[in-house]
């Protein structure tokens, strides 16, 4: 389907959905949201772009295979768990470091991992379904 309106709106909506997904991921530690919902929102933006421009255009924009994005997310989540073990605590123990701008901890790294796994998995699925069609 080739629609000028959808094609034009998709460019703006993808950017807005990606920004909103990052906001939802970052606020998810203390309030509703997190990596899973943020990843789904971002994947929705790419699914919209697939409908507007096709799978080839999305692959060109991403420049990296979505399965590799999911693998990177899995590595981030695993690293978040192993940091606790390296510090002599239990697996997935939340640890924080103090920065001048505030605290940063392993829960954020874990949420980033979940975000990337969901984003990569859903985008890979959407692209596979579109290319099979």
Look at residue 76 and tell me whether its pLDDT is greater than 90: yes
Q: Which residues contact 121 (CB under 8 A, 6 or more apart)?
A: 66, 70
**pLDDT, averaged across the chain:** 91
Boundaries of domain holding 82: 4-132
User: Treating both helix axes as pointing N-terminal to C-terminal, what angle do 35-53 and 106-132 enclose, rounded to 10 degrees?
Assistant: 30
Count up the domains in the chain and report the number: 1
Q: Which two tokens stand for residue 89?
A: 């605590």
**Whole-number pLDDT of residue 118:** 97
Which position has the higher pLDDT, 97 or 1? 97
In this model, does residue 78 exceed pLDDT 90? Answer: yes
Give the pLDDT confidence of 20-63 residue by residue, as tens digits.
999 999 888 667 788 999 999 999 999 999 999 999 999 999 99
Query: Averaged over 84-104, what is the pLDDT?
Result: 87
């Amino acid at each position: 389907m080739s629609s000028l309106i959808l094609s034009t709106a998709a460019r703006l909506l993808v950017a807005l959905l990606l920004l909103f997904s990052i906001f939802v991921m970052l606020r998810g530690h203390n309030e509703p949201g997190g990596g899973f919902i943020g990843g789904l929102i971002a994947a929705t933006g790419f699914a919209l772009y697939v409908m507007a421009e096709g799978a080839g255009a999305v692959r060109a924009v991403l420049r990296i295979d979505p399965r590799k994005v999911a693998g990177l997310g899995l590595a981030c989540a695993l690293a978040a768990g192993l940091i606790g073990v390296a510090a002599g605590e239990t697996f997935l123990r939340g640890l924080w470091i103090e920065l001048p701008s505030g605290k940063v901890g392993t829960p954020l790294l874990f949420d980033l991992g979940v975000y990337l796994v969901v984003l990569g998995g859903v985008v890979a699925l959407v692209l596979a379904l579109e290319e099979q069609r």
